[in-house]
Amino acid sequence: MKEHWDERYASEEYIYGTEPNRWFGGHLRMLKAGRILLPAEGEGRNAVYAAATGWEVHAFDQSSEGQRKALKLAAEKGVAIRYTTDTLEEMASVDGRFDAIALIFVHIHEDQRAEVHRRLASMLRPGGMLILEAFSRKQKGNTSGGPQSDTMLYTAVMLEDDFSDLEITFSEEACVHLDEGPLHLGNAEVVRLLAVKPG
């Protein structure tokens, strides 16, 4: 899988664009800046945006090419981010607790999904927020991005169960129009979740 993403990110073009995901950016603006974790962050668009708005950013991805492009974008925008190469299963370089965690189009195989999600939930500080947008199982057949297998796609009920240790404040499946670089373009079926760590 690392080789797949290294190959995909190898070009100088930002295949998912350089602007933040709208769902992420809109909700991040409503929070007081603190410490944020961005797993599977790819080319860095959301990490760089968070840093530019005052957040202390820890991002990671298994792809060294994604890391390279993220650090390049951060330098171009004049911000600092911490970006390590880690897998979702290990997260070896991730430490401490976070005021926010954002999972933006992070698709985890069903064999590991619930365990990874619950571990991430445990990394939130009391009062910390989870912001999630991903492709739903209704996305199959669309050309606007994402996996084409149920094993890598989500439902709202599935995510509510994964994050049952958190207080779910918003959950929906919806059709949206994506305009996030050449590989996220067009109408898409997504699932969105907002949740807060109790306490």
pLDDT over 90 percentage in the chain: 92
Of 51 and 96, the one with more pLDDT: 51
- Amino acid, res. 56: E
Q: Are 136 and 105 in contact (CB under 8 A)?
A: no
pLDDT number for residue 105:
98
- Amino acid, res. 149: S
Q: Could you tell me which residues are beta bridge partners of residue 194?
A: 131, 170
pLDDT number for residue 2:
86
Q: Which of 8-12, 109-113, 125-129 bottoms out in mean pLDDT, i.e. has the lowest?
A: 8-12
Q: Are 184 and 178 in contact (CB under 8 A)?
A: yes
For residue 121, the 8-state DSSP code is H
Q: Tens digits of per-residue pLDDT, 155-195?
A: 999 999 999 999 999 999 999 999 998 999 999 999 999 99
CATH topology of domain 2-196: Rossmann fold (3.40.50)
Q: 170: helix, coil or strand? A: strand
| Element of type H or E holding 6 | helix 2-8
User: Pairing state of beta strands 185-196 and 167-179?
Assistant: antiparallel
